[in-house]
Structure 1
Amino acid sequence: MNIAVIFAGGAGKRMNTRALPKQFLEMHGKPVLIYTLEHFQNHPQIDAIVLVCITSWIDYAEKLIRAYHMNKVVDIVPGGSTGQESIFEGLSRAREISKSEKDIVLVHDGVRPLIDEETITSCLASVALHGNAVTTTPAIETIFVQDEKDMVGQIFNRSRCAMARAPQCFYLTELYQAHLQAQAEGRDDFIDSAMMMQYYGTRLYTVTGPVENIKITTPTDFYLFRALLDAQENMQIVGL
Structure 2
Amino acid sequence: MGNIALVFAGGSGRRMNTNGRPKQFLEFRGKPIIIYTLELFDNHPKIEGIIVVCLKEWIPYLEKMLRKFEVTKVKSVVPGGTTGQDSIYVGLKAVDRYYSPDSIVLIHDGVRPLIMEQTISDNIECVREYGSCITCVPATETFIVSRNGGGLEIPSRSESFIARAPQSFILSDILSVHQKAQRENRHDFIDSCSMMNHYGYNLHTIMGPMENIKITTPTDFFIFKAMVDVHENQQIFGF
Q: Do they superpose with TM above 0.5?
A: yes
Is the CA contact (8 Å cut-off) linking 2:108 and 2:165 kept in structure 1?
Answer: yes
Residue 121 of structure 2 corresponds to: 121
- Counterpart-to-counterpart distance in 2, 1:152 and 1:113: 38
Residue 35 of structure 1 corresponds to: 36
- Counterpart-to-counterpart distance in 2, 1:33 and 1:56: 15
Residue 45 of structure 2 corresponds to: 44
**Unpaired segments ≥5 residues, structure 2:** none
Instruction: Give runs of aligned pairs for residues 20-99 of structure 1, distance below 5 A.
Output: 20-99=21-100
Is the CA contact (8 Å cut-off) linking 1:144 and 1:152 kept in structure 2?
Answer: no
Residue 139 of structure 1 corresponds to: 139
> TM-score, with normalisation over the residues of structure 1?
0.96
**2:127 corresponds to which letter in structure 1?**
V
Q: Deviations over 1:195-237 (max 9, x none)?
A: 1011111000001100000000001100111111111212222
Equivalent position SS for 1:156: coil
| Displaced runs of 4 or more, over 2 A | none
Same amino acid, percent of matched pairs: 51
- Counterpart-to-counterpart distance in 2, 1:127 and 1:56: 34
Equivalent position SS for 2:18: coil
Equivalent position SS for 1:50: strand
Query: How many aligned positions are there?
Result: 238
> TM-score, with normalisation over the residues of structure 2?
0.96
**1:193 corresponds to which letter in structure 2?**
S
- Counterpart-to-counterpart distance in 2, 1:33 and 1:70: 11
- Counterpart-to-counterpart distance in 1, 2:124 and 2:146: 35
**Unpaired segments ≥5 residues, structure 1:** none
- Counterpart-to-counterpart distance in 1, 2:175 and 2:189: 14
- Counterpart-to-counterpart distance in 1, 2:117 and 2:234: 17
- Counterpart-to-counterpart distance in 2, 1:154 and 1:79: 37
Is the CA contact (8 Å cut-off) linking 1:43 and 1:117 kept in structure 2?
Answer: yes
Residue 237 of structure 1 corresponds to: 236
Residue 168 of structure 1 corresponds to: 167
Is the CA contact (8 Å cut-off) linking 2:3 and 2:104 kept in structure 1?
Answer: yes
Q: Deviations over 1:119-166 (max 9, x none)?
A: 100000000000010000001011111468xx9721121111110000
- Counterpart-to-counterpart distance in 2, 1:105 and 1:77: 16
- Counterpart-to-counterpart distance in 2, 1:31 and 1:166: 19
Residue 223 of structure 1 corresponds to: 222
Is the CA contact (8 Å cut-off) linking 1:142 and 1:158 kept in structure 2?
Answer: yes
Q: 1:19 offset after TM fit, Å?
A: 3.9
227-236 or 108-117: which moved more?
227-236
Superposition CA RMSD, Å: 1.5
Residue 208 of structure 2 corresponds to: 209
Equivalent position SS for 2:196: helix
- Counterpart-to-counterpart distance in 1, 2:159 and 2:176: 31
